[in-house]
Structure 1
Amino acid sequence: MSEETVPQEGGADARPKGLIQQMEELMAALNADLSALDADLRSAAGQERQAGVEGHAE
């Protein structure tokens, strides 16, 4: 069974990435995106709670 590879950018001397390396890079990028999304959602939820508290304080 052969390992599927995709050439890297950078010319003919660059070694192609292995499938496992590609998967690790994709998982790292996905993890970073999910962390950013989590932070955005927590921030939005905090702002909604703050607006709700301010609205009931009057």
Structure 2
Amino acid sequence: MSEESVPLAAGAGQPKGLLQQMEELMAALNADLSALDKDLQGARGSGRGVGEEGAD
């Protein structure tokens, strides 16, 4: 029976840990996407679009 109580005890702490990890991953993803957007905006501004300018 002690085997059953160990996963429950470990499981009680996991959601908070997983939530913290998820928040950190989302923050990193957001930073990466912001940097990518900035790079793409710079490429469009220089006249060398990434496919949109030549599509007309």
Whether TM-score is above 0.5 comes out as: yes
Q: How many residues align?
A: 44
Q: CA RMSD in A?
A: 1.9
Higher relative contact order (CA 8 A, sep 6+): 1
> What's the TM-score, normalizing by structure 2?
0.63
Judging by fraction of residues, say which structure has more helix.
Answer: 2
Counting only pairs closer than 5 Å after superposition, residues 45-56 of structure 1 correspond to structure 2 as 45-56=34-45
Tell me the CA shift for residue 13 of structure 1: 4.2
- TM superposition outliers: structure 1 runs of 4+ over 6 Å: none
**Structure 2: gaps spanning 5 or more residues:** 48-56
